[in-house]
Structures are given as structure tokens and as C-alpha cells.
Structure 1
């Protein structure tokens, strides 16, 4: 038994080391690959010994902030998805499927039409409001009678499609809103350090609080009766986790648009690699989410090379088949 435990711990350390290496390699590729190639040596020099060269300008002002933003958004969306799957005990839950992304998107599009001069900082709070309304609407429709995993999934998809249709209708009826079409696919093109500064405090705080509450989340997944018997306040845990989902997903949508499927895919991979304890699932989800979006953004540059494509296209191509696979398998989170 002792040897088995030691082997499991060793496997987790191996997964952690491999994930960190993949993230570092992905960040370097993210900075080096593009319409203007930058060598590995030039990347290192631009980061640690910057000068006035063209390569340093490209790395420092364009590619490095975009790489950092991809990692932050990937981590935030992945942890938000893991939290949603835990509090709903539904393996199909994610910020996209449960109306959070669609609600935030609709709120930002309406705000953009009503207040064209809205600052980037203000859009974060508007995204929070839209995300909260989207999530609350799903729970409202699913709460009639006994709330089941299937009802939540169906209500989530219905609300997501409804809010997305409203968003598209608003854009069609208002010519000034056509500028957000590219953003609605989910993109981090053209982002700089300003956007990193907007997202960083919300992402850092949300991730820190999520990691701090991981033990309570793990107990909640065991079942309400078990959690209550162990002294946990189930309603407060769910409420707090819901606030974290809104914070993480809302801020990400405000900066980069509704990038889908990251919150659906990554928690399943994390559970497969490190088991069902959320004290490990949440930090590993953050790490794997960062890896997924960094590499997805690198791939997005080759879809219409040398032009840029939204990263949401790549995540959708990966995530849609994965969602159909999960729906067909019909598996719930192991308890």
C-alpha cells in the first residue's frame, strides 16, 4: 500500500513537471511564432536584455503581453469550469454551457451601443453583471420541481442559445455594433499590457480564493448530506463558488470575448491525471487551461496565415467534439 501511495505521488510530480515544461515551451513558441519570425535567442534577449531592435519591440509590446493574457484567461476559464462542474455535480457544466459567457457578451454588446466611449475597466463590471444574470436565469429555469443534472444542462443550453440570439439580433439591428463581431468569436489579437493589467487582479484574486476553498469544494462533491455532516455550509459554499465563476469568467469575457470550451475540457483532463480531489484539480486545471489556450492561440495564427484568426475558432474545433463525446457517454463526476 505504501509503495502504491508513493507511486501515485511520484506520478503527480511527473505530471506537474511535464505541465510546467509544456507551458514554458508554449510561451516561448507563442512569442517566437508569427508573421515575423523571432528566434529563441532573440526571444530570451528581448525579455532579459531588451534593446531598441525590431525584435525586442515585437516581443515586448505585442507578443509577450498576448502570451501572458492567453495563460491568464486559460487558467481563469478552466478553474471557472471546474468550479461549475463541482457545485452542479454535472460533468457538462462550463461557463459557456450555463449561460455565463453569453450573459456577459450580451451585456457588453448592449453597453457598447449605449455608451460607445466606455472604458475597458468599466466593461469588466458590466461583464460581471451579465454573467451573473445569465447564470441566475439558468438556475431559475432549472429550479422548478426537482433540479437534476439533465435539467440544468438543458436549461443552460437553452439560455445560452437565447442570449446568443439576442446578442446577434442587437448587432444586426445596430450598425455601430458590427465592430464586436470579431470579438464575439473570442480573440486576444491586438491585446497589450493594458489588458493584462485589467485582467490580472481579478484573475489572481479569483484563482487564489478558488485554491483556498478547494477543500470545501472537494467535500461538497461528496454530496450535500456528507458535506453537512462534516460541518460545511453547503449553500454558502455554492454561493461563494458561483461568485468566483462570475469573477473569473466575467473578467475573461470582458477582455477577450466568449472563448468557449476551455472550462469544459480542462477539468476532465485534470481529474484524469490527478484524481478527484479538488485540492489538486483546481491548481492543475489552472495550469492545463493556460497550456491549452497558449497552444490554441499559436495554432490560430496558421488558420489564415499570415493573417490572425480568433483563438475561439481553435477551442471550438477542439471542444465541440469533446462535448458531444461527454454527452454521449453521459458520465457525471465521480463521487
Structure 2
């Protein structure tokens, strides 16, 4: 078990890094903002262009990055815990791709549909994507390598269908940027939209922490200790659909955070999910915030989708995990 002093030190480091990332996110970019000047103008009520950029664009963007990163990281941790598979994540499990496909279908069939209603299509698509991967991977026994192969195949299939719909329908070509994963055009409307769903999903996930900690001892041990395995899996699946679905509906398919963060956190705090889940939430928000800051400078002064940065970080990490799993099988 992780010692409390070590946990406190880790929390302090994470909070300091989140504070630094928040500062960079708020004050760096095409429009450079001086912190003291912004505070002075805001307190006096005499808002300049820079202060408006800070309050209407940068601040909601920061909050979205922290919240969506937490959603994806916790969703990935839940999937890895329930499947006991280190390669499981919303992207590898087809959840992101399924949500993206149904959101694009909704935009094509119902052009006037608001973002608030798109969330429900994203939830349904996330569920369909996950069920497809789980169904095919479960045939004749599920293994880590088989799950990764089936997951990536379903992910590529659903992504191809999504891009095909976009290419053959000029009305929705503007979502290509969004499908790469972006929070650059988001504002307070998106924050208010995702906040209730994210809170519900995170509370549900954290309520399962103790059961998941027991689950890691083995299914037979968990059943012997009175755990309802079916109930745990169903509730975890609902939490994953809520967290990943609302993220895709607002920011598109941001990949690999749900894969990388739980692995890093387990190395820091061990396998006890009473610590893994909340620390994953902090680390996920931290990672997405810094990735968003980096995305502003890839093609400066133009902004790039944050999904590009997470893919550049996550793809080598996924290959490393897949190679390690292959060695363990051999």
C-alpha cells in the first residue's frame, strides 16, 4: 500500500504542475496576456480585448481540458480494471470511434441538432463501439493481444465510415478538425453541457473504487468476498460510456490519454483503485492541459488539434505496451 507521505508528496507535485499548466494555458498563445494587468482590468470592470480573450476563451478552454482529460483517464482506468487488460482504453475499445460515427450521423441526418442533443448520440455510439469490440474479442477466449487487434480493427472500420460520410457530404466537412480532437473553439456553453454528465460519471467511477481494488485480486477472490462481478462490470460500463461519450460529443476523438495515464499512475501508486482513479483524474487533466498548450505552437500562429499531440505521445506508448504483451504471451 502506498504510504500517506508519498501520496501527499505526489499530490503536491501534481497540483503544482496543474497550476503551472493552468498559467501557461491562460496566458500563452497568439494573444499574449499579462496576468497582473488582466487582474487589474477585471477588478476595475474596464475590460480590454486581452481580458475578454482570457475570460471568454482561455478560462473555459482550461476548465474543459482539465475535465475532459480527467474523464478519459478515469474511463481508461475503469476499462483496464474491469477487463484486467493493460491495452484497454476508450480508443482501443472502439468507444471513441463509435461515438464519433454516431455524432457525425446525427449531424448529417439532423443538421439543426444542438450540441446538447448530440451527447445522446455520442453515448449510444460509444456503447455500440464497445459492444462490437467486446463481442468479437470474446470469441474463443479473450487475450490482451486479441483485444488490441480487434479493438484497432473496429476502431479503423468505424473511423473509415465516419470519414467516408464526411467526404461524401459537403455539409459536414467542417467537422474534420473536430474529429481530430480539439477544444480550441469551446466556451462556457460546452463547460455547462459536460459538467453534469462528467460529475455523474466520475462519482459513479469513484464509487466503484473499493470494488475494483478487490477485483484486482482475481475474480474468484472477489466473488468469495461478496462482490457482484456482473454489477461491477455493468456500472463501470455505464461510467465509461458517460465519460467517453460526453468527451467525444464536445471535443471529438482525443486518443491515448485513457491508455497512457492509468499505466503511469499505477507505477506511482500501485494497484489500489481507491488511489488510481482520483490520481488518474488529476494526471489526465494535467496531460490534456499541457498537450493543448503544445498544440498552440505546432503550426504557430495557427492552432492544431490537441488530438495530434496526444497521438504523437500515445502511439509509441501503445506500441511499447503491445510489444511487452506479445513477449509475455510468447
Instruction: Tell me the distance in 2 between the aligned counterparts of 1:120 and 1:161.
Output: 25
TM-score (norm 1): 0.94
1:260 and 2:244 matched: no
The answer to whether the 8 A contact 1:46-1:60 is kept is: no
Residue 229 of structure 1: aligned partner: 224
**Where does structure 1 lack aligned partners over 5 or more consecutive residues?**
none
Give the superposed CA RMSD: 1.8
Which of 109, 115, 123 is residue 120 of structure 1 equivalent to?
Answer: 115
What's the secondary structure of 1:38's corresponding residue?
A: coil
| Cα distance per residue 1:241-285 (max 9 Å; x no partner) | 011000000000000000000001100111111111000000000
Instruction: Tell me the distance in 2 between the aligned counterparts of 1:92 and 1:114.
Output: 34
1:136 and 2:131 matched: yes
Q: How does 1:56-95 map to 2 (within 5 A)?
A: 56-95=51-90
**Where does structure 2 lack aligned partners over 5 or more consecutive residues?**
none
Instruction: Tell me the distance in 2 between the aligned counterparts of 1:217 and 1:50.
Output: 50
The answer to whether the 8 A contact 1:32-1:43 is kept is: no
What's the secondary structure of 1:92's corresponding residue?
A: coil
Which of 267, 278, 284 is residue 272 of structure 1 equivalent to?
Answer: 267
Instruction: Tell me the distance in 2 between the aligned counterparts of 1:47 and 1:235.
Output: 52
Residue 27 of structure 1: aligned partner: 22
Instruction: Tell me the distance in 2 between the aligned counterparts of 1:47 and 1:277.
Output: 44
| Cα distance per residue 1:108-154 (max 9 Å; x no partner) | 11111111111010010100000000001111112222222222222
Instruction: Tell me the distance in 2 between the aligned counterparts of 1:82 and 1:49.
Output: 45
The range that moved more, 168-177 or 48-57, is: 48-57
TM-score (norm 2): 0.96
Which of 203, 207, 211 is residue 212 of structure 1 equivalent to?
Answer: 207
- After TM superposition, give the deviation of residue 55 of structure 1 in Å: 2.2
Q: How does 1:89-104 map to 2 (within 5 A)?
A: 89-104=84-99
Distance 1:282 1:48, change over 3 A: farther
Residue 185 of structure 1: aligned partner: 180
What's the secondary structure of 1:330's corresponding residue?
A: helix
The answer to whether the 8 A contact 1:172-1:178 is kept is: yes
| Cα distance per residue 1:217-256 (max 9 Å; x no partner) | 1111221101100100001101110110000000000000
